[in-house]
Amino acid sequence: DLKNLGSKLSLVTQNLPVHFDNPDFRRDAIRSVTQSVEKINKMCSRLSLLSERSRIIPRPASLDQIVTDSIRGFDGMFKVPVHFVAGNVTDLYIDAEQMQKVVGNLLLNAGEAVAAGGEITVSTSMRDGWAQLAVSDTGCGMSREFIETRLFRPFQTTKPKGMGIGLFHCKTIVEAHGGRIEVESEEGKGTTFRVFLPRKTVSRGEGRG
């Protein structure tokens, strides 16, 4: 991706002296440079996640509220309905900002996997001392081979334009909370991600990378 953007910028600079007096070229050149810089900055920002360890600052927070806020933030962006079944999980000791990143990424993945006519379901619950978050979709699903050998690893993705960093980052955040993330999926039928968080947790400073 970076190589392609570099080639695009190179073409612009090569043609600039020749076509500088053409206002249409200048307008297109400015747009190309601006878009390329934005894409490079976004890629660098996402790549930086690989060198960071998730720093967790836990405070009392409601998992139900985190999910509600995340869904509201995507209002109108998904082509399918998003159903939320709240389990009254309101008294956790977690980093709400970091966990919102996890919920948001799982929602984005579900939204990209599901086709028109499908649906996304999010639920929270408390069981055996663990808070549970489930994000399910009726989308394309993943193969067993991909789940076992490539899922949650950086630069491994089924998306044509994906970088495979989002789920990797989710895993580090959840583990820094002392929790775990699991997945069930079947090709052509859909996927469910489940996040398990301890009801109470203490600050671990820098989480496991």
Instruction: List pLDDT tens digits, range 27-84.
Output: 888 888 888 888 888 777 666 655 556 678 899 999 999 999 999 888 777 888 999 9
pLDDT bucket at 169, cuts 50 / 70 / 90: confident
pLDDT for the residue numbered 85: 97
Q: For the whole model, what pTM was predicted?
A: 0.68
Residues 6+ apart with CB under 8 A from 200: 92, 93
Average pLDDT in the 143-172 region?
Answer: 68
For residue 180, count other CB atoms closer than 10 A to its CB. 14
**Vertex 49 angle, CA 44 and 55, to 5°:** 140
Average pLDDT in the 188-199 region?
Answer: 93
Which of 123 and 48 is assigned the larger pLDDT?
A: 123
| pLDDT of 164 above 60 | no
pLDDT for the residue numbered 209: 35
Tokens of 79: 């082509």
pLDDT for the residue numbered 4: 65
